[in-house]
Amino acid sequence: MIKYLFLLIANQSGSTVMTHQLAKCKRIVSFPFEKDENGDDTYIREGQHILWKNNRLAVPLPDHRKYGNIWTEDADFFSNANNYDWDFAKEAWLDKWSRNPKFTQDNPIYLEKSPPNVVRAHLLKNNFENPYFIVMVRNPFAHAEGICRRSNGRYNIKRTARHSAEVLKWQLRNIQEIKELVYFTYENLIDNTKIVEDAIKHMLPELDDIDLFNPVGAGSLEGFGTRPLENFNIKQFKNLSTQDIGIIQSVLSEQQYTEALSFFGYKVDSPI
């Protein structure tokens, strides 16, 4: 039986690490690795970037909506079923998956990750047979800092803080509405790696060879490199000014985010 595994992980929250670790599993069929500017196989393309049809996107792309990495500002559009051509998406993704040498195995698990999956998980659930999901969230102070810093001035800290808070709210909704799902935080992934591994294997026993302790290539505050799991939160907290922290706290204090913040164990009064 074919299964689909969708990652519900926002940008700057560990999605690349999780994708590359899962891609090593014998039963996982990911999109093939692609080459960087040096000709090295270093990354796996996100599904959202391969869905052009007749000069039109079959699945909305944040950059084409002019929201880039803060796509929650356009959540109504990204979560609207009328803006998708799932038949073409399935065809295009299957073509890419078929280029993976593991494609011909019996009972594969097809892997896909695109950050806006966070707000369209219900659409994936309704349009794919046997879908499974992994939710991971990150401390909103570090998350907001990372997106703001990497935007090179495109977004201010207030917008990225709201995006981080919105991600938490949407992820709580996903957890409440989807049965075949496992969730954990970026911090749990690093501090309780074995527990996270066991949770994934409990949902999908076929992934008995997953090994999250292995070094993996991914980008971080220190640039791209192959390294063991490492928590960069403290280093990113130090990049925040007192004013930045105050702005993030102001956003997180809004009543609409209280439940999600508490559910994932994050605090408004302290970044740590």
Asked if the model's pLDDT at residue 36 lies above 80, the reply is no
Flag whether pLDDT at 198 surpasses 80: yes
Which pLDDT does position 221 carry in this prediction? 44
User: Could you tell me if 111 and 210 are in contact, meaning their C-beta atoms sit under 8 angstroms apart?
Assistant: no
Tell me: the pLDDT tens digits for 95-151? 999 999 999 999 999 999 999 999 999 999 999 999 999 999 999 999 999 999 988
Average pLDDT, the chain: 90
pLDDT at 26 over 70: yes
In percent, the amount of the chain with pLDDT more than 70 equals 90
Asked if 8 and 133 touch (Cβ cutoff 8 Å), the reply is: yes
CA 30 centroid distance within chain = 15
Rounded-to-integer distance, Cα 240 and Cα 141, Å: 9
pLDDT in tens, 250-263: 999 999 999 999 99
Q: What is the pLDDT of residue 214?
A: 87
- In the prediction, which pLDDT does 223 show? 45
Mean pLDDT score, 227-232: 77
Query: Dihedral (C-alpha) 263, 266, 267, 272: value to the nearest 10 degrees?
Result: 160
The answer to whether residues 140 and 233 touch, using CB atoms and an 8 Å cutoff, is no
- In this predicted structure, what is the pLDDT of residue 231? 85
Taking 60 as the threshold, does the pLDDT of residue 178 lie above it?
Answer: yes
pTM here?
Answer: 0.92
- Is pLDDT at 272 greater than 70 in this prediction? no
pLDDT at 35: 66
Give 66-82 pLDDT, tens digit per residue: 888 999 999 999 999 99
Residues 6+ apart with CB under 8 A from 226: 215, 216, 217
pLDDT surpassing 90 at residue 168: yes
- Using 50, 70 and 90 to split pLDDT, how confident is the model at 222? very low
Which CATH number describes the domain made up of 3-263?
Answer: 3.40.50
What is the C-alpha to C-alpha distance for residues 61 and 264, in angstroms, rounded to an integer? 28
Is 53 or 238 the better-scoring residue by pLDDT? 238
Structure tokens at 237: 């907290």
Q: Give yes or no for residue 269 having a pLDDT over 50.
A: yes
Tell me the domain boundaries of the chain: 3-263
- Give the pLDDT band (50/70/90) at residue 163: very high
